């Protein structure tokens, strides 16, 4: 199938929960759309002919790299040819790949190029700028690419997989977490044309799908985060297989740790962890996500069988006045030890719990990364919400099958 | 299966670095069996690192947390929790995340309950304002032993159960953290710290920096830092090292002359879906915050084998070498008596 994906580079502002509005460079999926952070999630299928039409509106040339894809071609209006690095005067490398020039360049190269490739392998990939990478990748020009296996069929559980039927990668729900970090001073310097010195890089914000906690827990597409369309709240029911797709979009390491259970890592950088008949998958409770790395993992929470009648908890819950409930005036706790039950909460604590669901934190264990400019809570943190069986509904955690997910 | 009752007090205290500097900490102290009237005498006696919590698969652990308050910061009334990091299939009530369950106020108790089902090396820490409470010292080691564990039977003295190739004669936790001097100074001076300015000045193993790391357990000069980081074995002993990282940086640990075999990561044997043995060797073990590694070696010829951080700038105390994450493996010619317990 031919898949056309249109992208426009554009500048914009994203916001942080502590009230900052930060200049960034991003990608829009419509000509009149806003830049978004990270770039649009692109979902294609193994064997598709994927054409990425990139139009540049930034004040410098830009490009896209597709790590993990082979045989990438570029077409700047003269017909497709294999992508090549670009060199400037004196043979100095100016771009890792062919680029779309900036408007009004006196050299008048095209501002629009089309990259094309046919993904050979299913899995999770990143795409990012290949030009002035020390600035453009950090400024926000990166995003996630999902390649569905050729036999993918959302309606058939055995074929709703990350890597194809029989690979042990079936999932009930899936979530993408693109990780990055931001030094607002560098972004400010780019905005105002001041010298940009990446050696002074000192991140103050850490982003999960372009948002800092606690905004990570808001739904996708909330109107007041127009350039940060993707939420990171993970929802599941007990026993379900939840596919976590971690992707390192920034330049730092992020050791992500989900509460609730280990994950089984089934794919690395878009490659199934299997050699012939030998399974190489493994379980972790903390995964160190490095720059440019992707990790496909299955998370399952089954619980321990606690039930108020058949298997009550073996401790006595103290009186409410003897407990500290609610952090910063609200709580995700149901007031009960049991899944699906609600109990009393102290007066004055806002109840954010819907139906007795459980919340498990998922966060970076490099704890400075769970702050917003040094203040907890923030940064690389979200929750895995486990709902009582049959209560969540199917639509959560189902990424449209062959769509680039729009703003 | 045993019932284990342990009680931890959460309070503050002071630790000493080898250069003589004292740092204010928050931490846990073991108050198991202490009469109620004497509990108050443990205020201000936090330990770095916190007491070992140890149980067998199938045991029932009742862990009581008592918030003793901060005598060094009487203005602060922080709550605390215990988070058993990595406990599979936990429920929020016992998971210790204040935003998603409950925390323990000053002067109150709370009982956590755990029935571990998977052996391995874990860690525990407070999860209240975690960027602050973890760096301030509320961190401790946790060992879940296999169901068939029997230290009197060599084939059953294992990390992951009989038949898993993890028999050991001696075991040590190697608990890695850092100390940011300014963060600790700001805390006692009642000043707000910008955690994005985090900078490690001291690099600690088991709560101590070299050369304190090689002093004995319970050295009287280090009353708040009871755990030695010196590893001792007889030639030929199988030694299990339980690495934990609860700092905010990656660390790269090498033992000069002793290759390591990774037998467990994050309290899981490296085993594929069909039972494939995916264990592997390492010369330098790279550990991220929030990870644990179970690493084995056979003690070589008698002698001293230095242990250090291949991030070489971390072998310093506030910029002065030698110091930091340095210790040693002391191999004896069969003269050491059997080890009575972890790190003993
Ligand atoms: Cu946590
Ligand atoms: Cu933790």
What DSSP line would sit under B30-80, residue for residue?
A: E-TT--GGGGGGGTT--BSSPPPEEEETT-EEEEEEEE---TT-TT----B
Q: For residue A391, which of A240, A174, A258, A263 has the smallest C-alpha distance?
A: A240
Sign of CA dihedral A136, A138, A139, A140: positive
Q: Is B3-158 in CATH node 2.60.40.420?
A: yes
Confidence (pLDDT) at B27: 98
CB contact under 8 Å between A376 and B131, yes or no, is yes
Interacting residues of B153 by C-beta distance below 8 A, sequence separation 6+: none
Domain extent listing, chain A: 2-299
Ligand 1 centroid to Cα of residue A365, in Å, is 7
| Smallest CA–CA distance from B193 into chain A, residue | A374
Confidence (pLDDT) at A97: 98
Residues belonging to chain A: 407
For residue A106, pLDDT over 90 is answered with no
| Smallest CA–CA distance from A183 into chain B, residue | B196
CB contact under 8 Å between B95 and A259, yes or no, is yes
Q: Is B172-332 in CATH node 2.60.40.420?
A: yes
**pLDDT, chain A, mean:** 95
What would the pLDDT profile of A349-361 be if each residue is shown by its tens digit? 999 999 999 999 9
Asked, colleague to colleague, whether B3-158 and B172-332 share their fold, the answer is: yes
Q: Which residues of chain A does B103 touch, with a Cβ-Cβ cutoff of 8 Å?
A: 323-325, 327
For residue A402, pLDDT over 60 is answered with no
Q: A60 vs chain B: nearest CA distance in angstroms?
A: 31
- Among B6, B66, B97, B136, most A C-beta atoms within 10 A, so best to mutate, is B97
Per DSSP, which regions of A164-233 are E strands? 173-182, 205-208
Confidence (pLDDT) at A407: 36
Q: Is A2-299 in CATH node 2.60.40.420?
A: yes
Q: For residue A358, which of A384, A330, A382, A386 has the smallest C-alpha distance?
A: A386
**Contact status of A319 with chain B (Cβ, < 8 Å):** no
Q: What percent of chain A has pLDDT over 90?
A: 92
A394: confidence class by pLDDT, cuts 50, 70, 90: confident
What would the pLDDT profile of B82-121 be if each residue is shown by its tens digit? 999 999 999 999 999 999 999 999 999 999 999 999 999 9
Q: Which residues of chain A does B274 touch, with a Cβ-Cβ cutoff of 8 Å?
A: 277-279
Cβ(A333)–Cβ(A325) under 8 Å? yes
For residue A25, pLDDT over 90 is answered with yes
Peptide bond into B211 cis (omega under 30): yes
φ, ψ for residue A57, nearest 5 deg: -120, 5
Q: Which residues have CB less than 5 Å away from ligand 2 (the ion)? A: B 85
CB-nearest partner of B89 from A279, A303, A331: A303
What would the pLDDT profile of B116-172 be if each residue is shown by its tens digit? 999 999 999 999 999 999 999 999 999 999 999 999 999 999 999 999 999 999 999
Q: B254 vs chain A: nearest CA distance in angstroms?
A: 20
- Among A252, A366, A379, A388, most B C-beta atoms within 10 A, so best to mutate, is A366
Q: Which residues of chain B does A323 touch, with a Cβ-Cβ cutoff of 8 Å?
A: 102-105, 108, 110
Ligand 1 centroid to Cα of residue A119, in Å, is 36
Give the A window 116-175 contacts with B, CB below 8 Å: 168
Q: Give the helix/strand (H/E) hosting A140.
A: none
- State the DSSP code for A367: G
Tokens of A199: 């050696």
Least reliable range by pLDDT among A92-106, A165-179, B220-234: A92-106
Ligand 2 centroid to Cα of residue A287, in Å, is 12
| Smallest CA–CA distance from A306 into chain B, residue | B91
d(CA A232, CA B167) in angstroms, rounded, equals: 42
Q: B337 vs chain A: nearest CA distance in angstroms?
A: 36
**Contact status of A337 with chain B (Cβ, < 8 Å):** yes
Question: Which-ligand-closest: CA of A359?
Answer: 1
| Mean per-residue pLDDT, B223-233 | 98
**HSE-up (13 A, CA, CB side) for residue A340:** 12
Domain extent listing, chain B: 3-158, 172-332
Q: Given the DSSP bridges, would you call strands A205-208 and A282-284 parallel, antiparallel or unpaired?
A: unpaired
Q: B199 vs chain A: nearest CA distance in angstroms?
A: 10
Q: B17 vs chain A: nearest CA distance in angstroms?
A: 23
CB-nearest partner of A168 from B97, B273, B289: B273
Confidence (pLDDT) at A109: 84
| Mean per-residue pLDDT, A43-54 | 96
For residue A404, pLDDT over 90 is answered with no
**pLDDT, chain B, mean:** 97
Confidence (pLDDT) at A405: 47
What would the pLDDT profile of A134-162 be if each residue is shown by its tens digit? 999 999 999 999 999 999 999 999 999 99
| Mean per-residue pLDDT, B261-268 | 98
Q: Which residues of chain B does A383 touch, with a Cβ-Cβ cutoff of 8 Å?
A: 100
| Mean per-residue pLDDT, A86-101 | 96
Ligand 1 centroid to Cα of residue B84, in Å, is 9
**Contact status of A371 with chain B (Cβ, < 8 Å):** yes
Torsion of CA A286, A287, A290, A296, to 10 degrees: -150
Ligand 2 centroid to Cα of residue A160, in Å, is 32
For residue A406, pLDDT over 60 is answered with no
Q: Where are the alpha helices (DSSP H) in A217-275?
A: none
Ligand 2 centroid to Cα of residue A277, in Å, is 35
φ, ψ for residue B212, nearest 5 deg: -65, -25
CB contact under 8 Å between A260 and B60, yes or no, is no
A400: confidence class by pLDDT, cuts 50, 70, 90: low
d(CA B139, CA B339) in angstroms, rounded, equals: 24
For residue A401, pLDDT over 80 is answered with no
Q: Which residues of chain A does B135 touch, with a Cβ-Cβ cutoff of 8 Å?
A: 367
Question: Which-ligand-closest: CA of B123?
Answer: 2
For residue A280, pLDDT over 90 is answered with yes
d(CA A365, CA B312) in angstroms, rounded, equals: 23
d(CA A4, CA A286) in angstroms, rounded, equals: 37
CB-nearest partner of B131 from A203, A333, A367: A367
Confidence (pLDDT) at B261: 98
- Among A304, A371, A385, most B C-beta atoms within 10 A, so best to mutate, is A304
ipTM: 0.97
**Cα dist. B72→A267, B189, B193 in Å?**
49, 10, 17
- Among A324, A371, A376, A386, most B C-beta atoms within 10 A, so best to mutate, is A324
CB contact under 8 Å between B291 and A286, yes or no, is yes
3-state class of A138 per DSSP?
Answer: helix
For residue A339, pLDDT over 50 is answered with yes
Q: Which residues of chain A does B85 touch, with a Cβ-Cβ cutoff of 8 Å?
A: 257, 285
CB contact under 8 Å between A374 and B194, yes or no, is yes
Cβ(B99)–Cβ(A216) under 8 Å? no
CB-nearest partner of A371 from B131, B268, B272: B131
């Amino acid at each position: 199938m031919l898949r056309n994906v249109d992208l426009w580079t554009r500048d914009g502002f994203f916001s942080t929960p502590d009230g900052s509005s930060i200049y960034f460079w991003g990608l829009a999926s419509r000509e009149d759309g806003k830049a978004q952070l990270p770039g649009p999630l692109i979902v294609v299928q193994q064997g598709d002919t994927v054409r990425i039409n990139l139009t540049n509106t930034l004040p410098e040339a830009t490009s896209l790299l597709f790590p993990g894809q082979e045989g990438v071609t570029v077409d700047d209006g003269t017909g497709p040819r294999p992508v090549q690095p670009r060199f400037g005067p004196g043979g100095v490398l100016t771009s890792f790949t062919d680029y779309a020039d900036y408007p009004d360049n006196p050299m008048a190269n095209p501002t629009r190029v089309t990259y094309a490739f046919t993904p050979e392998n299913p899995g999770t990939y990143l795409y990012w700028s290949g030009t002035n990478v020390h600035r453009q990748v950090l400024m926000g020009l990166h995003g996630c690419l999902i390649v569905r296996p050729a036999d993918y069929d959302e309606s058939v559980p055995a074929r709703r997989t990350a890597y194809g039927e029989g690979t042990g990668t079936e999932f009930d729900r899936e979530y993408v977490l693109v990780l990055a970090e931001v030094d607002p001073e560098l972004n400010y310097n780019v905005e105002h044309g001041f010298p940009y010195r990446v050696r002074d890089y000192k991140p103050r914000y850490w982003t999960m799908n372009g948002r800092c906690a606690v905004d990570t827990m808001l739904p996708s597409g909330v109107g007041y985060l127009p350039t940060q369309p993707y939420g990171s709240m993970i929802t599941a029911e007990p026993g379900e297989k939840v596919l976590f797709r971690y992707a390192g979009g920034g330049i730092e390491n992020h050791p992500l740790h989900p509460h609730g259970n280990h994950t089984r890592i089934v794919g690395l950088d878009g490659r199934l962890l299997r050699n012939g008949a030998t399974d190489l998958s493994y379980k972790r409770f903390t995964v160190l996500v490095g720059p440019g790395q992707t990790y496909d993992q299955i998370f399952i929470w089954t619980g321990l069988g606690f039930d108020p009648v058949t298997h009550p908890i073996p401790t006595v819950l103290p009186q409410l006045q003897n407990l500290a409930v609610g952090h910063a005036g609200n709580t995700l706790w149901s007031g009960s030890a049991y899944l699906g039950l609600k109990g009393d909460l102290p007066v004055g604590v806002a109840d954010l719990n819907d139906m007795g669901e459980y919340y498990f934190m998922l966060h970076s264990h490099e704890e400075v990364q769970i702050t917003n400019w040094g203040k907890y809570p923030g940064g690389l943190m979200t929750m895995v919400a486990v709902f009582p069986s049959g209560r969540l509904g199917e639509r959560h955690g189902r990424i449209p099958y062959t769509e680039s997910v729009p703003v | 299966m045993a019932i284990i009752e342990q009680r931890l007090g959460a309070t503050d205290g002071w630790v000493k670095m080898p250069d003589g500097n004292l740092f204010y900490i928050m931490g846990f102290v073991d108050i198991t069996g202490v009469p109620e009237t004497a509990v108050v005498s443990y205020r201000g006696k936090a330990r770095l690192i916190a007491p070992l919590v140890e149980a067998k698969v199938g045991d029932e652990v009742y862990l009581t947390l008592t918030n003793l308050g901060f005598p060094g910061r009487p203005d602060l009334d922080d709550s605390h929790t215990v988070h058993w990091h990595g406990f599979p299939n936990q429920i929020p009530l016992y998971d210790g995340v204040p935003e998603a369950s409950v925390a323990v106020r000053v002067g109150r108790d709370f009982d956590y309950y755990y029935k571990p089902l998977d052996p391995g090396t874990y860690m525990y820490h407070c999860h209240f304002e975690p960027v602050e409470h973890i760096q301030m010292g509320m961190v401790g080691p946790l060992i879940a032993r296999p169901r068939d564990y029997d230290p009197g039977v060599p084939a059953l003295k294992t990390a992951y159960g009989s038949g898993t190739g993890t028999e050991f004669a001696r075991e040590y936790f190697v608990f890695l953290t850092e100390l940011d001097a300014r963060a600790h100074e700001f805390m006692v001076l009642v000043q707000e710290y910008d955690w994005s300015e985090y900078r490690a000045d001291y690099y600690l193993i088991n709560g101590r920096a070299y050369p304190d790391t090689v002093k004995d357990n319970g050295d009287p000069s280090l009353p708040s830092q009871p755990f030695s980081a010196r590893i001792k074995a007889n030639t030929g002993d199988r030694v299990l090292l339980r690495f934990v990282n609860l700092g905010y940086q990656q660390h790269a640990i090498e033992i000069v002359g002793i290759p390591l075999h990774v037998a467990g990561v994050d309290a899981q044997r490296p085993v594929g879906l069909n039972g494939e043995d995916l264990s592997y060797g390492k010369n330098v073990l790279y550990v991220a915050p929030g990870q644990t590694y179970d690493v084995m070696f056979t003690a070589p010829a008698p002698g001293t084998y230095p242990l250090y951080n291949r991030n070489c700038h971390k072998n310093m105390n506030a910029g002065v070498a030698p110091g930091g994450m340095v210790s040693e493996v002391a191999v004896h010619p069969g003269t050491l008596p059997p080890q009575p317990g972890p790190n003993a």
